[in-house]
């Protein structure tokens, strides 16, 4: 029974899929890891995970810009992502996975176009593919009450990071330009991922879980213009916001799980974000750094053929922090500079995992 509980808790921890990144203009793409369940069975598993959100509330720091919605000047992002993950279990301790994300984004705004009429830009395609290897640090055959899994991976720049669409600057004309960073399928960088997943069972029904993920993106900028088909200003060039940055990403989750028959209910807190400064490499270029603290309820159903998961993280705190360019501009002018970003209230993540 404890072994079954361990499996269910790990499935709840992993969301039976990749944990869902991304809730708005803070471009936190879905690059988090998948935590495989402890098992002696060798072979392949396939995971399909879908997620969707709509971001439309603007924040500067933690202060919501309510007037943006009243004026109808807010930016609205619609994001759908399908992650296809194949996991190979070699033995009870080692596994590896490859994830192919497929993205479909839409974005409507006034300021990117003529400033008077709301128009839309879109993007579609594969995102950045990721390969990962995982190891349970304690032997699952004896570590029934708890375990820790470490993972390391590489993210390749397979997704388009200069996707273009038309911007309507006048009523009778349009110009082709790169879409906003938040709806670019890829970021243009080759990155390294580091993960830690863990669980501990108090009883055969009750347990806790925790996980941490960090993507290191050494590349500083990807060269994609932020002018949307226009010409960069002198200020944008001075503070390097005329081209897109390649930022790091992070996420952490902690929570409690409770098993009832074939269902596992879990609830916890997740923090996901995009830092203003990278661990390795420069931090210049345009980015919207920030983080979201969310409450994350989820439910997992495990059958003989497949596992199903549904989670709906909803935001408790949203913070658009100062970027590198904001900090440099503040230092130069003596006037505090801080951009805004649009965030979602919640996202919906639903996935299924089955053994091949």
CA 179 vs CA 160, 161, 234, 243, 267: distances in Å? 11, 9, 21, 12, 36
pLDDT digits (tens, 9 = 90+) for 261-290: 999 999 999 999 999 999 999 999 999 999
Residues 175, 165: contact at Cβ < 8 Å?
no
pLDDT of res. 10: 38
Looking at residue 173, its pLDDT comes to 86
- Say which residue, 172 or 72, is predicted with more confidence: 72
- Topology of the domain covering 2-355: Porin (2.40.160)
How much is the pLDDT for 96?
A: 97
Supply the DSSP string of 312-337, one letter for each residue. --EEEEEEEPPPHHHHHHHHHHSS--
pLDDT at 26: 67
> Band of the pLDDT at 88, cuts 50, 70, 90?
very high
Q: State the sign of the Cα–Cα–Cα–Cα dihedral 162, 289, 275, 123.
A: negative
What pLDDT digit, counting tens, does each position of 294-337 carry? 999 999 999 988 999 999 999 999 999 999 999 999 999 999 99
Taking only the tens place, the pLDDT of each residue in 193-211 is 999 999 999 999 999 999 9
Q: What is the mean pLDDT of the chain?
A: 91
Find the mean pLDDT for residues 142-148: 93
For 91, the 3-state DSSP assignment is: coil
Element containing residue 10 per DSSP (H, E)? helix 2-14
């Amino acid at each position: 029974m404890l072994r079954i509980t361990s499996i269910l808790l790990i499935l709840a921890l992993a969301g039976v899929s990749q944990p869902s990144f991304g809730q708005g203009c803070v471009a936190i793409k879905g690059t988090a890891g998948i935590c495989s369940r402890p098992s002696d069975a060798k072979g392949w598993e396939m995971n399909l995970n879908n997620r969707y959100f709509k971001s439309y509330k603007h924040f500067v720091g933690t202060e919501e810009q309510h007037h943006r919605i009243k004026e109808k000047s807010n930016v609205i992002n619609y994001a759908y992502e399908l992650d296809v993950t194949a996991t190979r279990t070699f033995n009870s301790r080692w596994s590896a996975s490859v994830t192919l994300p497929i993205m479909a984004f839409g974005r409507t705004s006034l300021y990117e176009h003529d400033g008077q009429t709301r128009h839309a830009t879109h993007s579609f395609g594969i995102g950045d593919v990721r390969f990962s290897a995982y190891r349970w640090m304690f032997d699952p055959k004896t570590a029934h009450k708890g375990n820790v899994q470490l993972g390391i991976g590489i993210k390749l720049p397979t997704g388009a990071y200069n996707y273009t669409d038309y911007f309507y600057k006048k009523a009778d004309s349009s110009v082709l330009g790169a879409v906003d960073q938040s709806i670019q399928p890829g970021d243009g960088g080759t990155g390294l991922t580091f993960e830690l997943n863990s669980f501990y069972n108090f009883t055969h029904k009750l347990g806790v879980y925790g996980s941490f993920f960090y993507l290191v993106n050494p590349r500083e900028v990807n060269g994609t213009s932020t002018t949307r088909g226009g010409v960069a200003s002198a200020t944008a060039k001075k503070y390097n916001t005329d081209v897109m940055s390649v930022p790091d990403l992070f996420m952490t989750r902690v929570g409690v799980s409770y098993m009832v028959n074939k269902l596992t209910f879990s609830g916890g807190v997740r923090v996901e974000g995009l830092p203003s400064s990278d661990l390795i490499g420069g931090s210049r270029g345009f980015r919207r750094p920030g983080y979201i603290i969310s409450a994350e309820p989820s439910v997992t159903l495990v059958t003989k053929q497949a596992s199903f998961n549904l989670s709906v993280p909803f935001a408790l705190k949203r913070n658009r922090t100062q970027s590198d360019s904001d900090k440099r501009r503040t230092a130069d002018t003596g006037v505090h500079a801080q951009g805004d970003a649009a965030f979602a209230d919640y996202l919906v993540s639903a996935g299924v995992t089955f053994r091949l």
